[in-house]
Structure 1
Amino acid sequence: MATVETAQAVSMERPSSQGSPRLFMLPFHGTAEDAQASRAPPAAAAASTHSNDDSTSSIDHVMDKKPTETITKRQKAKRHCAKFRWWYLAGLLIFLVIFLPILFKVIIPAIVQKIVNNQSLPVESGVIRAVSPNELFVALKTSLDTPLPATINPFELSLYNKDSDDSSPFVQIQLPKAKVHHNTTITVEEQTVKVLNENQLVWWFSNIFDQVETELSLSGKPKVSLGALKYEPNMDLTVEVPALNRLHGFTVEKLEFTGGQDGSSNNIKGKLNLPNAGVLTLGLGNLTLNIISGDIDLGVVNVYNVELKPGNNTSDFDGEIYLDQLIPNLGALLDSQKDALTVGAIDLTVTGNSTIVNGQHIKYVESVLNKKTISTRIPILTLAGDILSGVLSSDSQSSLVNVIGNVFGNSSLLESTWSHWNKGQTGDSSESQSTKTKRDAPRFSLVKNLVRMSVRASLKASIK
């Protein structure tokens, strides 16, 4: 059989790289019979084509298959939320309807109340001044410490004694508007307030006088604003206030005998130190104080416009020593001073007598001071030096002679003695200084003799 090479175009489908079939020509080499066979009927060609299509389809299926896509947790959550979003929205609304009232009516008020309860409200400084029998002048400086910024609107603060049987307020003060955040200073403006309960005010003033620190209870309903939110927590606090400690350190800095040359009964003047260990300035007006030694009333002193600021306060005073009681009771006086005399000093006791402001007696101050005693010890040398400086002054000699003469009932003798002594002092101005010095010396002997006379008279009186 002859071999016939026939170039015949054979149409075949082959998938392209893009997945679509592409026609191409292949050369054919074979015999005539092969060529005849290649020209098969359409049915056979269709069958062959169908077979090729199945193979191609299988190849396409294998090549078109992609790897499985991986879904992250976030995508799953997002799909889940998108699927059930209406359910979640309904649940959120229900939660807010329940939670928000609890937040604004329970939780935040509880937080504000706790902040208020934790306040110490230290009294850093202030003024309490007697104005009238039923009024006080008050000014205070304190501080608040808050973790949240807030505005405190003006409100009324009541002052009372927690440990007293009667807890009603004795005064009420007005606190100003203030913006607070962290440690903020609060200044209570100067204001005159009514005394609401005098007994309770006296009770608190008594503690102020006696103690190193005393308690002060405060109550009120501060109006707190947190933005648009407003709350009124209950304030009921007790704070510590540094007090007077019984005027510890009270001393007579200077005492001078004046002899009453101003025409009044006053025969002494000097200076007192009134210490204030607290932080409050106390305005007490004009004070009259009794001077006592043992059971003997020695006299009174008057201190004017007393304003006890924190620290030492030196105040001028004048007053009267009852010489008509002092000299006859000199024996008893010396007996009451046994302990002090052993250390070269004299003990004096001071107690309240009266307190006057604008011509009116201030009962709530008198009720305290008239029941309190203040003790001081004066060195004898200091006291003797101050008294002698007054006794030897030319202005006070004649009045002193009159007083002592009246006590002993022999005023004329003392006057003549003193007059004779004065004549010795009025010599020629041309005398030498040494001569004047010699003539000044008898002054001290005379004073010594006067003291001896008073002691003898006291002893005779006690024997009788």
Structure 2
Amino acid sequence: MATEGGKETYVEDEGAAGPNGAGAVKAKPPFKQRAKRHCLRFWWLWFIIFAIVVLVIVLPIVYVAYPNKAQKQINKAQLVPQSMSLLDPAPDSFDLQLDDMFQSKSSMTARLDAFTADLQLPGAHVPFVRIDVPAIKAANGSVAHVHQRVQIANTDQFDQYTKTVLLSDEYSIYLKGKGGLKYGSLPKTTVKYNKKITIKGLNGLKGLTLTDFAILTTTQADGANANGTVTIPNPSIATYQLGNVSLAMSVAGLPVGTATLPDVLLKPGNNSFPMRAITNQTAVVDLIFTNYKSGILPIDIVGNTSVYAGKHLPYYEQALQANNVTIRLDVIKALEDAGLAQYLGINTTSTG
């Protein structure tokens, strides 16, 4: 109420409602209430936005970042051979026993599916064999055990492989393939393998020795007129079954005989085998009377044949034929032990 010109007047409160609420001005709802109403009204829109955000963030992680990380960890990991055996060989196949250790600095532990792998020489476009790699838990120190009959995939490449093994101190091969990788609850992804594996070779059979060499005064039924013991070192982790091996012996290019080693199984370390030899004793005596009066002959030994279960093994034969080992053999001592030095007129006190 107010006084104007001596008269009383009344002013209606703008916030007060009339009898029927007419003339009243509604108060503005709080922000939270308005937001709640908006979300309830447009819930479908917010669901779409949420789904899009999840897809934008999660999908690249699951289908891009995770596969890339998995592949990088496979690339960084190493396969270190622990043991290897090539047994029961045939011209086109052999039994393979291979233990490879998986080494990785990553804390990531995943399950690797079984897969078929190609084994290739560096620079080769085709494998020499294919192997079935079993499924393993890929943690640092895990070992994959391969034990199977392997067919030679390419004879030329396998010939080159066996030659590389025999002649090299160390060599490398590549394991190639692809398979599944499963990590935790994440979906399975596919990774590619292109692993370089370095292995000790046979180093050209360096260190081969012939001991207990004896000349037989009577030729044996197999034609042998000498025998001895051949020791072959194997500095590698691998075992190779070569069967019966024949060797050609010469001095300065002059053939002086052949020798046979039975049932050659080259295990890691030193391996000794009985040797039976057919020697050209006339040629040997001539050498002693001419260029090698000391009686010490430099014998060049080259492999000739490799026969297992009655079948030639061409991949071992070509490797053996490509390798030469030279030993120094005291022939006069063997002649003396056989009682032949004096008979042949060799003055042992004046030789050398």
TM range (shorter): 0.7 to 0.9
Instruction: Give the whole-Å Cα distance in 2 for the aligned partners of 1:257 and 1:113.
Output: 63
Deviations 1:1-52 (A, max 9, x none): xxxxxxxxxxxxxxxxxxxxxxxxxxxxxxxxxxxxxxxxxxxxxxxxxxxx
Higher relative contact order (CA 8 A, sep 6+): 2
Contact 1:286 1:302 in 2 (8 A): yes
Structure 1 unpaired stretches of 5+: 1-77, 393-445, 454-464
Deviations 1:436-457 (A, max 9, x none): xxxxxxxxxx73251449xxxx
Deviations 1:117-168 (A, max 9, x none): 112211121102361111122111111135322222221111111224xx20
Could you say which residue in structure 1 is the equivalent of 2:15? none
1:348 to 299, 322, 335: 299
Describe the SS at the equivalent of 1:266.
coil
Normalised by the length of structure 1, the TM-score is: 0.61
Question: Aligned partner of 2:278: which letter?
Answer: E
Instruction: Give the whole-Å Cα distance in 1 for the aligned partners of 2:86 and 2:336.
Output: 40
Query: Does 2:173 align with 1:216?
Result: yes
Contact 2:163 2:322 in 1 (8 A): no
Instruction: Give the whole-Å Cα distance in 1 for the aligned partners of 2:122 and 2:34.
Output: 62
Describe the SS at the equivalent of 1:222.
strand
Contact 1:286 1:304 in 2 (8 A): yes
Could you say which residue in structure 2 is the equivalent of 1:287? 245
Alpha-carbon offset, residue 227 of structure 1: 3.9
Could you say which residue in structure 2 is the equivalent of 1:149? 109
Query: Does 2:158 align with 1:201?
Result: yes
Contact 1:148 1:182 in 2 (8 A): no
Instruction: Give the whole-Å Cα distance in 2 for the aligned partners of 1:269 and 1:289.
Output: 13
Could you say which residue in structure 1 is the equivalent of 2:336? 388
Greater Cα offset, 203-212 or 279-288: 203-212
Instruction: Give the whole-Å Cα distance in 2 for the aligned partners of 1:352 and 1:241.
Output: 23
User: Superposed, which structure 2 residues align to 1:8-407 within 5 Å?
Assistant: 91-129=49-87, 131-146=89-104, 147-164=107-124, 167-189=125-147, 191-227=148-184, 229-328=187-286, 330-331=288-289, 334-335=290-291, 337=292, 341=294, 345-378=296-329, 380=330, 383-389=331-337, 391-392=338-339
Describe the SS at the equivalent of 1:163.
coil
Question: Aligned partner of 1:368: which letter?
Answer: A
Alpha-carbon offset, residue 262 of structure 1: 3.3
Alpha-carbon offset, residue 261 of structure 1: 4.6
Who wins on radius of gyration, i.e. which is larger? Answer: 1
1:82 to 1:183, Cα distance in 2 relative to 1, 3 A: farther
Instruction: Give the whole-Å Cα distance in 2 for the aligned partners of 1:82 and 1:327.
Output: 113
Whichever structure has more strand as a proportion of its residues is: 2
Alpha-carbon offset, residue 238 of structure 1: 1.6
Question: Aligned partner of 1:299: which letter?
Answer: G
Normalised by the length of structure 2, the TM-score is: 0.80
Name the % identity. Answer: 21
Contact 1:285 1:307 in 2 (8 A): yes
1:80 to 1:290, Cα distance in 2 relative to 1, 3 A: farther
Question: Aligned partner of 1:194: which letter?
Answer: Q
Question: Aligned partner of 1:235: which letter?
Answer: Y
Instruction: Give the whole-Å Cα distance in 1 for the aligned partners of 2:80 and 2:35.
Output: 55
Question: Aligned partner of 1:110: which letter?
Answer: N
Matched residues, number: 309
Greater Cα offset, 315-324 or 223-232: 223-232
Whichever structure has more helix as a proportion of its residues is: 1
Contact 2:335 2:341 in 1 (8 A): no
Structure 2 unpaired stretches of 5+: 1-31, 348-352
Describe the SS at the equivalent of 1:209.
helix
Describe the SS at the equivalent of 1:113.
helix
Contact 1:155 1:220 in 2 (8 A): yes
Aligned-residue CA RMSD (Å): 2.7
Deviations 1:268-295 (A, max 9, x none): 1110110111111111111000111111
Moved over 4 A (4+): 78-91, 328-331
Deviations 1:322-377 (A, max 9, x none): 1243345555xx52x58xx5xx8432110011110111111111111112111122
